[in-house]
Amino acid sequence: TSGIARGGGGGAVPGATRCPLAMSAETLVKDVKPGLKNLNLIFIVLETGRVTKTKDGHEVRTCKVADKSGSINISVWDDVGNLIQPGDIIRLTKGYASVFKGCLTLYTGRGGDLQKIGEFCMVYSEVPNFSEPNPEYVAQQAQGKGAPPESSAPAAPQP
């Protein structure tokens, strides 16, 4: 599904394309791949997941976010996770992408930031969902590195 997120009733927001969100220097969700670093994205928060406590007392939650190219999950930690609400438009700076339980996920990197820059005024698409479980990512994780699986068949002797 795609649409323009807005408060109140449904339908298009007149002049929505004039929202002051320059997306030129940002990466689109569809271009996010495992292992990429220093990612800058602008997205709208669609859903916030429930809080999970880690063994060392930190709180983490997964949020579903989207831009015009698709949706992806982002993992947010501690106080930041409590501040994010559905409908918020967020700029992620210095983020990175990794695979968690076979699903492509965004994270805030060291020195990175999540900044709310608006709300309810952004064209987005929920599909494709780039955080759907991906068998290829699961296989790469099983091998340990994230490198593509190599053939394990021995090379045939050359005549």
Q: CA geometry: angle at 91 spanning 85 and 93, to 5°?
A: 130
What's residue 141's pLDDT?
Answer: 74
Distance of CA 44 to the CA centre of its chain: 10
What's residue 123's pLDDT?
Answer: 67
- pLDDT tens across 42-74, in order? 999 999 998 999 899 989 999 999 999 999 999
Between 9 and 84, residue with greater pLDDT: 84
Q: Is the pTM of this model over 0.85?
A: no
Residue 38 has pLDDT above 90, yes or no: yes
Q: How far apart are CA 102 and CA 140, in angstroms?
A: 9
What's residue 6's pLDDT?
Answer: 38
Between 133 and 18, residue with greater pLDDT: 133
What's residue 90's pLDDT?
Answer: 94
Give the domains, in start order, of the chain with CATH numbers.
2-6+20-143 (2.40.50.140)
- For residue 153, how many C-alpha atoms fall within 13 Å in the half-sphere facing its CB? 4
- pLDDT tens across 94-144, in order? 999 999 888 999 999 888 889 999 877 766 777 778 777 777 777 777 776
